[in-house]
Amino acid sequence: MKPLTEPEIRAAFVNCTKGEASRLNVPRDLAEQPWDDLDFLGWRDPQAPGRAYLAAVIDGRTVAVALRSSGAASWQARRSLCSLCVTTHTGGVSLLVAPRAGKAGKQGNSVGAYMCADLACSLYVRGKKEVGTKLHESLTLEEKIERTLANLAAFVAKVTA
Ligand SMILES: [Zn+2]
């Protein structure tokens, strides 16, 4: 994906207030992110471990989503599957919940999905980050990347619907 800047990311949040978007922790090392190998940028808030964020370019538009993990119970000891990149982890998948954009979010509506706990889906798909067990799939890397992006776009569409 194309490298994103901090102002671009802050301006792209769809499901938090402008104030929250200006205060939340964006990675300091944006320039060093492996952008060529990323389908989206995902990160955990180092000061608030229950918070995570992702930023992506979908249909030419930069979109960022604020996420919360639903606490200790979301860390599962059994093998579980990331709903974005379809990587199987033992204990490395979190249930992340995004308040929906706009009025629905203010009324407490949210969208949840199981995702790689470190949000490094792009690196798992490319084999740049290893997991214990690999699913044997006949998809090519391009197909896996397309699938990840399609899953991400579907998730974001639910958040912004
Ligand atoms: Zn993943």
Q: What is the pLDDT along the chain (161 residues), one digit of tens a residue?
A: 999 999 999 999 999 999 999 999 999 999 999 999 999 999 999 898 899 999 999 999 999 999 998 755 445 556 688 999 999 887 788 899 999 999 999 999 999 999 999 999 999 999 999 876 667 788 999 999 999 999 999 999 999 99
Contact partners, residue 126, CB within 8 Å, separation at least 6: 37, 141
Q: What is the pLDDT of residue 133?
A: 67
Closest CA to 42 of 51, 33, 55, 30: 55
DSSP label of 122: H
Give the span between the Cα atoms of 69 and 94, in whole angstroms.
7
Q: What is the pLDDT of residue 23?
A: 96
Q: What is the pLDDT of residue 89?
A: 82
Q: What is the pLDDT of residue 71?
A: 58
Q: What is the pLDDT of residue 67?
A: 97
Q: What is the pLDDT of residue 131?
A: 79
Q: What is the pLDDT of residue 43?
A: 97
Closest CA to 86 of 49, 35, 133: 133
CA dihedral sign of residues 38, 123, 147, 113 = negative
Q: What is the pLDDT of residue 69?
A: 87
Q: What is the pLDDT of residue 74?
A: 46
44 C-alpha to ligand 1 centroid (Å): 14
5 C-alpha to ligand 1 centroid (Å): 23
80 C-alpha to ligand 1 centroid (Å): 10
144 C-alpha to ligand 1 centroid (Å): 11
Closest CA to 112 of 99, 129, 122: 99
129 C-alpha to ligand 1 centroid (Å): 11
Contact partners, residue 83, CB within 8 Å, separation at least 6: 113, 114, 115, 151, 155
pTM of the model: 0.91
Q: What is the pLDDT of residue 77?
A: 55
